[in-house]
Amino acid sequence: MKQFNNVTVLLEGNSYFDGAVTSRTVMFEDGSRKTLGFMLPGEYEFGTDAAELMEIVSGELDVKLPGADEWQTIKSAESFNVPANSKFQVSVKVVTDYCCSYL
Amino acid sequence: MKQFNNVTVLLEGNSYFDGAVTSRTVMFEDGSRKTLGFMLPGEYEFGTDAAELMEIVSGELDVKLPGADEWQTIKSAESFNVPANSKFQVSVKVVTDYCCSYL
């Protein structure tokens, strides 16, 4: 199984939408940061500060990217990019495990 | 904020009870292991292999330990121990962030 070595993990996790979206923060030696999280079924809107790469580890969701007219389905092992300072919507059908990299 | 340095984190998380309980696995240089997780409101029964130290990072739950007749309330910054090869029940009232150490 893929793993991240020599990283720092914060004890305290992050919880949004009454715990329907939760994540833990992982910091790397090069100063970069990822969050590893779960989304439960539901519809959510997120805002970005930095640009993000969202990788779906398991599960599936539909995403409506900034400026897009249509939703696209993102499955396990697929990913999508979100620009900085933008908003995007996701519709989650099944418990979804994700890895978000801040670019 | 407290953090764990020089650790390994598995990309893939753990999900139980339809995602109402999720966690991520953190491995330490000394070979020890913790899981950092969230429990959403609900009632759950868990089984242990190794003995466990459960620390509540934020939130609150009631626990019924193996052999106990009564429930006890565990609040943020409090903890409880569970013996190896046993079962325990928790009743979670609010989104609860925990750190489980395997002893």
Which residues in A lie closer than 8 A to residue B27 (C-beta atoms)?
A: 3
Which tokens in the block code for residue B83? 């013996």
Read off the pLDDT of each residue in A18-40 and give the average, rounded to a whole number. Answer: 98
Across the interface, which of A2, A18, A19 has its CB nearest the CB of B11? A2
- Predicted confidence band of residue B1 (pLDDT cuts 50, 70, 90): confident
CA distance A80 to A72: 10
What value of ipTM does the predicted structure carry?
0.94
Q: What pLDDT, on the 0 to 100 scale, is given for residue A1?
A: 74
| Extents of the domains making up chain B | 8-102
Summarize pLDDT for B19-72 with one digit per residue, the tens: 999 999 999 999 999 999 999 999 999 999 999 999 999 999 999 999 999 999
Fold classification of A8-99 is Jelly Rolls (2.60.120)
The answer to whether A16 contacts chain B (CB < 8 Å) is no
Please identify, in words, the CATH class of the domain defined by B8-102.
mainly beta
Read off the pLDDT of each residue in A82-93 and give the average, rounded to a whole number. Answer: 97
Question: Does the pLDDT of residue A4 top 80, yes or no?
Answer: yes
SS (H, E, C) B19-42: HCEEEEEEECCCCCEEEEEEECCE
Summarize pLDDT for B57-80 with one digit per residue, the tens: 999 999 999 999 999 999 999 999
Rounded to the nearest 5 percent, the helix, strand and coil shares of chain A are 5, 60, 35
Give me chain B's average pLDDT, please.
97
Which residues in B lie closer than 8 A to residue A19 (C-beta atoms)?
A: 38, 40, 95
Which residues in A lie closer than 8 A to residue B18 (C-beta atoms)?
A: 40, 95
